[in-house]
Structure 1
């Protein structure tokens, strides 16, 4: 080997002598290797792209009151722990909310039961009872034209007496009422058209102003009732679990006739 060749190899030989053999791992370790966590970019100025994604890096804007790179002891964990997304901690809800579905279910059952109780006269009633009108008798609006009375209404009652009323759905004015005794069936002529039907039921009649007193059961049919020319419609007030005509309880008192 020439002299120039030996001089060329001398730096490599010096580096080789600085190595330590790890027999167990069968590898070579260098004394000048860098410890874990001391990557070469720490303390250096990264690219603008890196700065935009990692505001805690050196050379990028840092939180107020903080200085130095991300891994410095005084900043360790600040940007990482506080500036990352974390799901919010669930807030405890009031205990009564757990019973809300149960309460609503009980209310949906209690309202029809209360209406049925009034229909059968369960509430105390000390008012003077008067004679209920004959089945099939009617009360009509004064301005009702008899030329419109070309349809018919059939009413089948339950144990309670009933007053079945038709109201104009636009003006909410009374048009027609028919009185039917309990456990009776009638057919009466009615004016053709589409109406809002209201049902008033009870046992002890107190007149066209008080109706059935404290035990007045007052409902409205959920959908409009249509009475066609030379046609008709009807309602059966004998309640069944799967009846085909849903009704809504009215919280107000019926209009005086």
Structure 2
């Protein structure tokens, strides 16, 4: 089922005009945060437990409808096609020299300030998002689906959504979002390292950079695929960026010059190859089992 879902999602993607289940999870999180957030960890733990329980129950219920329905529903939790399309939408205007259009496109996939990014800044942001999202949006949910079926896939996506919405170190969310952030760290621990390895294999390099630079990343998981991508490209990622007008220091990943439009296209090719390798990995695991 996991392999079939990956293939179907890569071929057809998800209709952009359709309502996406993640939007429903987001609505729930918004409502619970507004009612429960008393800046204490206990409420945040309760949020994660409740969301995971609902995800598992929903997954079990849908699986009773049969394999075909389960595969089609599973495609909503995978992001191979959409991630490729969003990053390609940045690469095309950047390669054509249309920096304003490239900035607008990259602003759709990153949270940093993009209005003053130069060509290298746009390419860097897109490559970093591509590498990190390969773990969050592809490898982690695919592994959840492989090991635990739809309940595993839904739980992984729910935790990832909760972390992106409330797992921030702001005064308002530091305590309430603690459980969401920690849960996301746990579920992505192994997938992040698998994602890094797949990127290094697909890019025919990057192992040394990944082992050297990934531990210095602010995230315990995000640095693995990003550092692997930096090493595979022979380019330098990371470094300071601006969020809401404030500069945030970040670790430097890799060596060499900053990436350009050609490197972004190369990163997309590595990503697509890494997705194919993931298919082989999951298919092989299912065959052995």
Q: TM-score, normalised by structure 1?
A: 0.20
The structure with more strand, counted as a fraction of residues: 1
Q: Which has the larger radius of gyration?
A: 1
Q: TM-score, normalised by structure 2?
A: 0.18
If asked which structure has higher relative contact order (CA below 8 Å, sep 6+), I would say 2
